[in-house]
Amino acid sequence: MPIDASADWRADLGGGTTIALVQAGVFTSDAGTVLGPVPRLMWERLVEDEINPDHTLTQALNCLLVETPSGRVLVETGCGERMDDHHKAQRGVRGEPILPSLRAAGFDPGSVDFVALSHLHFDHAGGLLTTAGEYAFPRARIVAQADEWDFALGDNPRLTASYEQPELRLAEAWARPGAADGDEELIPGVEVRRTSGHSGGHQAIIVRGRDQTVAFIGDLCMRPWSANPKWITSFDDFPLTSVEVKSALFAEAAEEGWTAKCKDIADGTLFPKAESWIFGANIPGKTNTVMFYMAGLGEYRKVLSDVTTNAYRGFALATDTSSAVA
């Protein structure tokens, strides 16, 4: 599906938690800026099918609508509907903004309980206000990191270029009191985790259902190929932090994914039904957990081969092997 096509993607994470992708338009960025210090020779072939004639890349303004038994959370708001024509043309902004996009997807903006923003750059927090300057989500708590507000409304020109300070000041009295001070669980199954990196107070939003977990990591990873922890953009205010935190997040995801894979395989056997200390039955309240890979040695060797041939996917490698994280 083209990145600027109308998107309708939804997933059931289990236990009454669902997520839906809501695309609030698109904009464009210079390809070299998006890839930052990565040599063009390394990235050019990866974008040959999507690079525009003016050497820009089209960036989707993807938002997530999370529904749980405890409440509704909107992740990101896009550029919004208050940007003037000059800046729209300059930034290549087109498409429907967040409010009509939500309604078209069947969601009432007035029913949102939380708006979780990865950070406060114009393309993430631009939809907090309506065209008339009213609060777009009047009943919602707006959750960005407290220090992200400090960076956004500060006076360091190197750090404030991507913030629309006049717009943020209009929304500040309503939106800033809901800020998170570090990691916080907003409602059961939905947490924000401070990462920094792309911006000083950048955060990830993690959604856990009964069966699956989804991590929305904002601009730490703008494209699939920037999942390489060492590939950063010129937009990152704290690039070394981006490298470190991406490595840690991907290692954590790989570990959780492996545990889930072992459980899925074991669920097809009688082992999980055994009240054994091997699976944690000797610890009161501990969830029955199978850590064994029960698909056989041959399949396990295939997994090991796949990991090693893909640059040790799921491992955060360090020069001092004693500090490597699996």
**Residue 6, pLDDT above cutoff 60:** no
pLDDT (tens digit, 9 = 90+) per residue, 155-188? 998 888 899 999 999 999 999 999 999 999 999 9
Judged by DSSP in three states, 325 sits in strand
Report residue 30's pLDDT band, with 50, 70 and 90 as the boundaries: very high
Judged by DSSP in three states, 290 sits in coil
Show the domains of the chain with their CATH numbers. Answer: 10-237 (3.60.15.10), 257-323 (no CATH)
Q: If you average pLDDT over every residue of the chain, what do you get?
A: 87
User: pLDDT: is 205 or 6 the higher one?
Assistant: 205
What is the pLDDT, as a whole number, of residue 7?
Answer: 53
pLDDT (tens digit, 9 = 90+) per residue, 79-116? 999 999 999 999 999 999 999 999 998 899 999 999 99
**Residue 318, pLDDT above cutoff 60:** no
pLDDT (tens digit, 9 = 90+) per residue, 251-309? 888 777 766 667 677 777 777 777 776 677 778 876 767 767 677 778 778 877 887 78
pTM of the model: 0.83
What DSSP letter does each residue of 148-204 carry, written as one string? HHHHHTSS-HHHHTT--HHHHHHHHHHHGGG-BSSSEEEETTEEEEE--SSSTT-EE
Least confident of 47-56, 134-143, 144-153, 197-206: 47-56
